[in-house]
Structure 1
């Protein structure tokens, strides 16, 4: 019997209700169905009393989600999608992402389209788009104390108050650079339309094999976004006397002490999106972010005097 999964945002009644309906439909179609909430991929925020909430990357998959699962459906917004990929990436399970939230930049379709999309998926009428993920690690005295998978971005900053921080950053074999800023963002092409875009970074199409480093409010006219090969590992040292906070994909984080070392590399795991239609990144940019929309009326014809 083929296996399918459902990951949903249990904080939204419409997602919970849709998950039950979809489970029944898949079961009636002869599928073995496993259901989980997206909360399993939320790694938890640290606190001064508990600076590390460490869950190993390979232990996040919900029961039943394994290498034999054909696909899974995500019912939620972008946060649920980010969480779900952390849960399934180790097993290379492709996800059909269905928006029950607001913007849904990472989702393939809206909830009202789900019945017809499921019919296509069950017949295998879809394509897979694979996107880069990052492995983010924190080392203390050469001991791994925290790690997470990242689809959008890793951010390191000070809290609770914003103020100038100093970072020493090594990209691959290149000489280290010093950056003074409120924080730094290291993002994938997928994350280039998220926090790094708001911080002034460029938009990068998903298939380009690069990463980008974006300083947040840098204290130098020379500190600007840097784009480089995603095969280059990145090491970040905190040149500060106070702890900093590191946040991954906006929903997981840990405190970073001055003597800690952060290492970010391209993960061996990929995020596999189920695409019903061929992916059209510029269309999504236009629909979700308004990119490329005309701001003035264009004449349909020109009358010569």
Structure 2
């Protein structure tokens, strides 16, 4: 019996109704269905007085979800997709993402497209696109305080985000660099259209094997976004006398004290997205962010006298 998972945003009535309807439809055609909410993939914050909040990366997978599952249908916005990616990536489960939110940059279909999408899903008429993820860890000495999978970006900044911080950052085997800024972002190509884009970083197409480091409001004309190979790990040492806050995928994170070290590397797990048609990244950029839209009036060729 084939097995399917459904992960939904349980605070949105439309997602809850769609989850129940999908469960009934898959069950009617003989599929085993496992339901879970995206809440299980949300990242909690450590308490400043008790900073250890270590949940292993593999510990977020919902009950019943395993490598035998054909795929998981994700009902929600981008936040639910990011949470679901952390839940299913360790098992290699492909996600079919349905937008019930606003932007829906990471989603493949809308609610009104579900009937046709169901036909393609049941017959296997789709492609699977893999996206790079990061493993983010916070160390104090040799102890792991916190870890998480990251699809978009890791952000390290002061709380509140109103004053300059100092960071010593080592990329791969290269010499460490000093950065003075309000914070720093380490982003995947998927995350290049999220926070790092707003902070002045470049857009990177998903298939390029790179990461990027983007200072937030740097106090130097020389501190700009840096793109580097994704096989090189990153170590970040906060050079401050106060604690910082680390946020992963805009969802949750932990406090980072002066004696801590933030370590990032390309994860062996990937986020696997089901595509009903061949992925077209530039089309998504145009539809969601307005990139490359034609001008209303274009200059016409004029013959010179």
TM-score range, shorter chain: over 0.9
Query: Which residue of structure 2 lines up, in the alignment, with residue 214 of structure 1?
Result: 214
Shift of 1:299: 6.4
C-alpha separation between the residues in 2 aligned to 1:24 and 1:302? 64
Shift of 1:48: 2.4
Query: Which residue of structure 2 lines up, in the alignment, with residue 31 of structure 1?
Result: 31
C-alpha separation between the residues in 2 aligned to 1:14 and 1:302? 55
C-alpha separation between the residues in 1 aligned to 2:101 and 2:253? 23
Cα–Cα, structure 1 residues 23 and 179, in superposed 2: closer, same or farther, change >3 Å?
Answer: same
Unaligned runs of 5+ in 1: none
Which stretch of structure 1 is more off in the superposition, 153-162 or 27-36? 153-162
Partner SS state of residue 240, structure 2: coil
Query: Which residue of structure 2 lines up, in the alignment, with residue 288 of structure 1?
Result: 288
C-alpha separation between the residues in 2 aligned to 1:182 and 1:265? 23
C-alpha separation between the residues in 2 aligned to 1:117 and 1:289? 25
C-alpha separation between the residues in 1 aligned to 2:109 and 2:251? 23
Q: How does 1:125-274 map to 2 (within 5 A)?
A: 125-274=125-274
- Asked if 1:78 is matched to 2:78, the reply is yes
**Residue-by-residue CA offset, 1:194-219 (whole Å, 9 max, x unaligned):** 00000000000000000000000000
Structure 1 contact 43–54 (Cα < 8 Å) conserved = no
C-alpha separation between the residues in 2 aligned to 1:175 and 1:51? 30
Partner SS state of residue 247, structure 1: strand
Partner SS state of residue 69, structure 1: coil
Query: Which residue of structure 1 lines up, in the alignment, with residue 6 of structure 2?
Result: 6
- Could you list the structure 1 runs, at least 4 aligned residues long, displaced by more than 4 angstroms after superposition: 299-305
Shift of 1:238: 0.4
Cα–Cα, structure 1 residues 112 and 303, in superposed 2: closer, same or farther, change >3 Å?
Answer: farther
Cα–Cα, structure 1 residues 141 and 219, in superposed 2: closer, same or farther, change >3 Å?
Answer: same
C-alpha separation between the residues in 1 aligned to 2:117 and 2:300? 38
Partner SS state of residue 287, structure 1: helix
Partner SS state of residue 70, structure 2: strand
TM-score normalised to structure 1 length: 0.97
Q: How does 1:23-102 map to 2 (within 5 A)?
A: 23-102=23-102
C-alpha separation between the residues in 2 aligned to 1:161 and 1:105? 26
Structure 1 contact 98–108 (Cα < 8 Å) conserved = yes
Shift of 1:115: 1.2
Which stretch of structure 1 is more off in the superposition, 212-221 or 46-55? 46-55
**Residue-by-residue CA offset, 1:68-119 (whole Å, 9 max, x unaligned):** 1010000000000000000000000000000000000000010110111011
TM-score normalised to structure 2 length: 0.97
Shift of 1:141: 1.3
RMSD value over aligned CA atoms?
Answer: 1.4
C-alpha separation between the residues in 1 aligned to 2:236 and 2:34? 39
Partner SS state of residue 73, structure 1: strand
Cα–Cα, structure 1 residues 223 and 116, in superposed 2: closer, same or farther, change >3 Å?
Answer: same
Structure 2 contact 53–145 (Cα < 8 Å) conserved = no
**Residue-by-residue CA offset, 1:264-300 (whole Å, 9 max, x unaligned):** 0000000000000100000000000000112331368
Structure 1 contact 71–94 (Cα < 8 Å) conserved = yes
